[in-house]
């Protein structure tokens, strides 16, 4: 295991230093172009570079939520592939010279190991020098939720590496225009939706996002590249410290958060169900239809709240020093339940009208 990184083959006492740099931004914002430009400048300084492009490591079908699976299954498959990339990255951090093969979703490990070979990471590590080799790991993905970036930060702390973030800001209309010129354009609706959800680094809210830089992608200059290099150099010289074991407290915090989310969601769901029953009565539904409808809606609500609790407990990351925006989580969840409720009404032949919360 590396402490700040792996050992240099030319001198077993001389550790290589690693910096994990997360790039985030909308599709077609220019991240990949910036990575290539930055990589060229990094190499001139004698550093090794390792570009981890999620688009190249994750099979295209993992992003297809319309292949006959339910939306939840599609999202689960996508998350599993993303987790596979992190598993490969952790193997690399444990031993950059000889990462251990990983059992991963799809062929993520095969693509990862090919990237190590093609980018000649090992020769960079073995380059003779009186200084420890430096490796800049550039993670090229949208990383539109801060929780996605926090997972990388956790690895940086676990292995005492440097960590920094670059947010590439680009107007939505520019991204949509650039996207049309790509060989395999992303559907416009995905980019539009992502633009509504993207969470840029927020150093004021999250202490762990202090080492962050925002660039305007419509006008990247040599000065901007130098700012990025300075950011990474600073991160390399100030590796993170491992986490203290606070698992019990974090588990308690997560349980409290889940209870709060479910309580608020339950209150709102009850109102949505009441509105649905009122609509059914106004539609002159028979007493038998009303009885079955009430039973179906109650079961749907119970199942929904169980899934919501599971999501908060097991999938919603709770970052260090950060409180979860409960109202935002509840608001997003209710959009899902409202659609489920309307589907139940339609199955009983009742129009939803304006039954909103």
> Tens of pLDDT along 267-295?
999 999 999 999 999 988 899 999 999 99
For 158, phi then psi, to 5°, come to -60, -40
Cβ atoms within 10 Å, residue 222: 9
Residue 197 sits in the same domain as residue 265? no
pLDDT at 232: 93
Task: Name 168's bridge partners.
Answer: 215
206 pLDDT band, cuts 50/70/90, is confident
Judge whether 124 and 192 are in contact, CB under 8 Å.
Answer: no
Residue 242 lies in a domain: no
- Above 90 in pLDDT, residue 21? yes
Domain presence at residue 354: no
Neighbours of 336 (CB within 10 A): 14
Strands (E), the chain: 7-8, 11-15, 17-24, 48-53, 134-140, 162-169, 212-216
CA 142 – CA 23 distance, rounded (Å): 7
1 domain-assigned: no
Q: Does 64 lie in the same domain as 160?
A: yes
Q: What is the pLDDT of residue 247?
A: 65
pLDDT bin (cut points 50, 70, 90) of residue 317 is low
Judged against a pLDDT cut of 90, whether residue 80 lies above it is answered with no
Domain ends where: 187, 214, 237? 237
The β-bridge partners of 164 are 21
Instruction: Looking at the structure, tell me whether residues 173 and 191 fall in a common domain.
Output: yes
Does 20 have pLDDT greater than 60? yes
d(CA 273, CA 280): 11
**Whether residue 70 sits in one domain with residue 156:** yes
- Rounded mean pLDDT, 22-48: 89
Which is nearest to 343 in space by CA: 315, 303, 307? 303
Does residue 42 sit in the same domain as residue 86? Answer: yes
326 CB contacts (<8 Å, ≥6 apart)?
A: 257, 260, 261, 264
Task: Give per-residue pLDDT as tens, 35-46.
Answer: 988 988 888 888
Does position 180 have pLDDT exceeding 70, yes or no? yes
What does the pLDDT read at residue 5?
Answer: 47
Q: Which of 98, 116, 115, 96 is nearest to 56 (CA)?
A: 115
Rounded Cα–Cα distance for residues 21 and 19 (Å): 6
Please tell me whether residues 88 and 204 are part of one structural domain.
yes
Residue 197, domain CATH: 3.40.50.300
Q: Which of 218, 237, 256 is the last residue of a domain?
A: 237
pTM, 2 dp: 0.66
Q: pLDDT tens for residues 214-235?
A: 999 887 888 999 999 999 999 9
| In the block, residue with structure tokens 């800049």 | 136
Does residue 182 have a pLDDT over 80?
A: yes
Percent of the chain with pLDDT over 90: 41
Gyration radius (Cα) of the chain, Å? 24
pLDDT value at 318 more than 60 = no
In a domain, 356, yes or no: no
Shared-domain flag, residues 325 and 189: no
More confident residue, 69 or 59: 59
Domain that holds residue 171: 7-237
- The mean pLDDT of 113-138, rounded to a whole number, is 76
What whole-number distance in Å separates Cα of residue 183 and Cα of residue 202?
33
125, 262: one domain? no
Q: Which one is predicted more confidently, 227 or 260?
A: 227
Q: How confident is the model at residue 242 (pLDDT cuts 50, 70, 90)?
A: confident
Could you give the 3-state DSSP secondary structure of residue 66?
coil
Tokens at 285, concatenated = 């539904």
Domain end marker among 184, 211, 237: 237
My answer on whether 211 and 315 are in the same domain is: no
- Say yes or no to pLDDT of 354 above 60: no
CA–centroid distance for 21 within its chain:
14
Q: Among 110, 194, 212, 107, which Cα is nearest to 152's?
A: 212
Instruction: Give a yes or no: residue 223 inside a domain.
Output: yes
Rounded CA-CA distance 36/140 in Å is: 10
Same domain, 230 and 115: yes
Return the pLDDT at 205. 82
Q: Say if 263 falls within a structural domain.
A: yes
Return the number of other C-beta atoms located less than 10 Å from residue 284's C-beta.
8
CA-to-CA separations, 262 to 222, 267, 271, 334, in angstroms, rounded = 49, 9, 14, 11
- Residue 259 to residue 104: CA distance in whole angstroms: 33
155 and 258 inside one domain: no
- Mean pLDDT in residue range 126-155: 83
Is 357 within a domain?
A: no
Q: Which residue has the higher pLDDT, 74 or 232?
A: 232
- Taking a C-beta distance cutoff of 8 angstroms, is the pair 145, 209 a contact? no
Is 56 contained in some domain? yes
Q: Would you say 140 and 35 are in contact if contact means Cβ atoms under 8 Å apart?
A: yes
Number of domains the chain contains? 2
Distance CA 184, CA 182 (A): 5
pLDDT on residue 325: 75
**Which pLDDT score is estimated for 217?**
85
What share of the chain has pLDDT > 70, as a percent?
80
Same domain, 154 and 191: yes
Place of tokens 């073995």: 126
The pLDDT, as a whole number, for residue 243 is: 67
């Amino acid at each position: 295991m590396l402490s700040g990184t792996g050992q240099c083959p030319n001198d077993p006492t001389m550790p290589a230093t690693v910096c994990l740099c997360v790039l985030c931004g909308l599709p077609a914002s220019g991240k990949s172009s910036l990575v290539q430009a930055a990589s060229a400048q990094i190499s001139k300084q004698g550093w090794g570079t390792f570009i981890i492009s999620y688009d190249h490591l994750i099979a295209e079908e993992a992003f297809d939520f319309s292949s006959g699976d339910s939306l939840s299954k599609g999202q689960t498959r996508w998350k599993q592939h993303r987790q596979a990339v992190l598993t490969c990255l952790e193997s690399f951090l444990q031993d950059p010279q000889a990462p251990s093969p990983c059992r991963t979703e799809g062929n993520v490990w095969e693509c990862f190991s090919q990237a190590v070979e093609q980018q000649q990471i090992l020769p960079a590590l073995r380059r003779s020098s009186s200084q420890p080799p430096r490796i800049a790991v550039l993670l090229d993905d949208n990383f539109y939720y801060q929780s996605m970036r926090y997972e990388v930060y956790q690895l940086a702390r676990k292995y005492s590496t440097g960590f920094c973030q670059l947010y590439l800001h680009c107007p939505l209309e520019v991204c949509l225009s650039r996207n049309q010129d790509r060989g395999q354009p992303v559907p416009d609706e995905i980019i539009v939706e992502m633009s509504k959800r993207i969470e840029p680094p927020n150093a004021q809210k999250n202490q762990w996002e202090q080492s962050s830089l925002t660039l305007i992608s419509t006008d990247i200059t040599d000065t901007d590249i130098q700012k990025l290099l300075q950011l990474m150099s600073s991160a390399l010289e100030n590796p993170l410290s491992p986490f203290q074991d606070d698992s019990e407290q974090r588990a308690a915090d997560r349980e409290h958060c889940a209870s709060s989310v479910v309580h608020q969601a339950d209150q709102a769901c009850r109102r949505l169900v009441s509105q649905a029953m009122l609509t059914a009565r106004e539609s002159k539904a028979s007493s038998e239809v009303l009885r079955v409808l009430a039973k179906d809606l109650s079961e749907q609500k119970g199942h929904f709240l169980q899934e919501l609790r599971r999501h908060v407990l097991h999938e919603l990351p709770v970052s260090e020093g950060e409180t979860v925006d409960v109202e935002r989580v509840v608001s997003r969840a209710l959009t899902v339940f409202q659609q489920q409720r309307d589907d139940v009404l339609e199955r009983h032949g009742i129009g939803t009208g304006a039954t909103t919360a």
